[in-house]
């Protein structure tokens, strides 16, 4: 057993023995990134691959081939990527030797996604890499592009014999495709996109990425629930009053105004990120941690979401814009796109019947905070004498902080020292960084290496994507039909619109203050 470390009153000891899951070493492969000169590649993908190189997690050998319209030489691109990785890496300064090893694996093919010559050059480059580096014909294609580029890329990959379709698990050489969100704009477009991709790849070859699922703190929801017998028996309608899931951002749309104005917070955050977190909180125990066992339980939760449509939308969902949004670059001066949403969601299962899940997400709020708060039932009877004493006894709250200051806190009641019977609310807090004394990996690191291993646990499955859109689309349709109602405004740096407070107050609840612990 390792030495114990104590931080914030939390003692941490490693559990001896083998890991719960013994992850296999990823096989050699070539990772082809379409959109190699884009923002996602520069800020997230290349830094993640560099970190994996430093950790010794990347397969050996590995080849990374970028595809894009950039006319620069490979050496010029490597120099620019080194600069951006130094800017966005969680490890500073850059390890020069590790970067040189990674840069040696990076290659580039210049050309348009519509240009046959680009795919001919790519095929020749990959064949050369197989011969000289031993990547064995294993391919991963990362579509770090807007969705409207997916069809032309997939069509050209297949036309030039770069894409193989197989349903056999563990088949080699493997061929996989990673697809970035947004995966559709509504149910119909998601179904159409799924049909399109299914023409080129089997479901087992498709990795739909949602970076929230790669966050250590999101993954820990399952371990926390099913690894602690003191909490799992309480994880139901008998002991939990309501659940609050929040994704608050302090920034506005920044330079993404044109994209955001056609998307909005419901599509950008709720349909994927928050519903995925809700599913992890609400799902039943899977039979194992195998990919489809976990995803089966999540899909069952999506199917159990009580529909919100028609007139119910106005009573269960609040939308709003921060003041000044319509003056942002790329935003229509008459825009009705919401930058904030709050909603009451019911999960119609035996475990959760009658327990509301309150979701809220927004930009330009008081502070950045993404977390889940489990609000337990209030005490049924006052034992502390005066009624006013019981007024200050707050129900216990368990908070799972996803970002920032990743960790777990528990609020409970204790007696205040002294000869009077006085009670106080106590907050017990654990942070991952202090407790485990190791940095938390970026989400894209975990997701990239999982795809290389062929582990789809943290990736969205076709039926899950469509069920989530089935729940969200009627809300979007109700908003589109109600185009005469003015959207509420809220001040930047606030907690959101008053209408959101009124929504949760109907059930005698209140939102966790964004400034509270």
Q: Which residues are catalytic?
A: 273
Q: How far is CA 428 from CA 342, 370, 411, 412, 437, in A?
A: 28, 19, 6, 8, 19
Burial class (CB in 10 A: 0-12, 13-18, 19+), 32: buried
CA distance 78 to 102: 10
Distance (Å, rounded) from C-alpha 387 to C-alpha 358? 29
Specify whether the backbone of 88 is left (phi greater than 0), alpha (psi in -120 to 50) or beta.
alpha
The tokens for 124 are 């020749």
What's the DSSP call for residue 440?
Answer: P
| Residue of 163, 153, 71 whose CA lies nearest to 116 | 153
Residue 67 φ/ψ, nearest 5 degrees: -130, 125
The 10 Å Cβ neighbour count of residue 479 is 20
Distance CA 309, CA 244 (A): 21
- Of 310, 283, 236, give the one whose Cα is nearest residue 457: 283
Specify the 3-state DSSP secondary structure of 244: strand
Beta bridge partners of 141: 32, 177
Three-state SS for 512?
A: coil
């Amino acid at each position: 057993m390792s030495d114990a470390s104590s931080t914030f009153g939390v003692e941490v000891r490693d559990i001896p023995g083998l890991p719960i899951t013994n992850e296999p070493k990823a096989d050699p492969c070539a990772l082809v990134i379409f959109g190699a000169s884009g923002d996602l590649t520069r800020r997230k993908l290349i830094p993640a691959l560099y970190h994996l190189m430093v950790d010794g997690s990347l397969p050996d050998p590995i080849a990374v081939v970028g595809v894009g319209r950039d006319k620069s030489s490979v050496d010029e691109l490597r120099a620019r990527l080194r600069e951006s990785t130094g800017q966005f890496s969680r490890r500073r300064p850059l390890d020069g030797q590790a970067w040189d090893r990674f840069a040696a694996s990076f290659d580039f093919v210049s050309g348009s996604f519509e240009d046959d010559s680009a795919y001919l050059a790519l095929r020749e480059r990959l064949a050369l890499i197989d011969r000289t580096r031993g990547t064995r014909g294993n391919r991963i294609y990362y579509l770090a592009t807007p969705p409207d580029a997916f069809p032309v890329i997939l069509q050209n990959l297949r036309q030039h014999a770069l894409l193989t379709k197989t349903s056999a698990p563990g088949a080699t050489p493997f061929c996989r495709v990673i697809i970035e969100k947004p995966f559709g704009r509504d149910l119909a477009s998601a179904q159409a996109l799924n049909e399109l991709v299914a023409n080129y790849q089997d479901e087992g070859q498709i990795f739909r990425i949602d970076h929230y699922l790669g966050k250590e703190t999101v993954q820990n929801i399952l371990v926390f629930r099913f690894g602690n017998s003191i909490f799992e028996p309480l994880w139901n309608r008998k002991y939990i009053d309501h659940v609050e899931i929040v994704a608050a951002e302090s920034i506005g749309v920044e330079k993404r105004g044109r994209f955001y104005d056609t998307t909005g917070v419901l599509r950008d955050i709720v349909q994927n990120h928050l519903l995925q977190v809700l599913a992890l909180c609400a799902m039943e125990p899977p039979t194992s941690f195998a990919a489809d066992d976990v995803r089966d339980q999540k899909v069952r939760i999506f199917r159990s979401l009580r529909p919100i449509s028609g007139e119910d939308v106005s009573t269960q969902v609040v939308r709003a814009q921060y003041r000044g949004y319509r003056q942002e670059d790329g935003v229509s001066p008459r825009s009705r796109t919401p930058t904030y949403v709050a909603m009451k969601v019911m999960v119609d299962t035996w475990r959760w019947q009658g327990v509301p899940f309150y979701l809220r997400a927004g930009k330009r709020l008081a502070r950045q905070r993404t977390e889940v708060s489990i609000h337990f039932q209030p005490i049924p009877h006052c034992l502390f004498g005066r009624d006013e004493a019981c007024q200050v006894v707050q129900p216990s709250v368990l908070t799972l902080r996803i970002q920032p200051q990743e960790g777990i806190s528990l609020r409970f009641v204790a007696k205040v020292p002294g000869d009077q019977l006085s009670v106080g609310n106590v907050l017990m807090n654990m942070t991952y960084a202090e407790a485990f004394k190791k940095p938390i990996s970026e989400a894209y690191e975990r997701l990239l290496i999982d795809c290389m291993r062929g582990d789809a646990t943290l990736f969205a499955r076709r039926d899950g994507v469509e069920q989530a859109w089935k729940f969200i689309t009627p809300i979007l349709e109700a908003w589109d039909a109600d185009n005469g109602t003015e959207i509420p405004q809220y001040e930047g740096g606030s907690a959101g619109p008053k209408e959101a407070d009124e929504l949760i107050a109907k059930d005698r609840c209140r939102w966790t203050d964004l400034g509270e612990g």
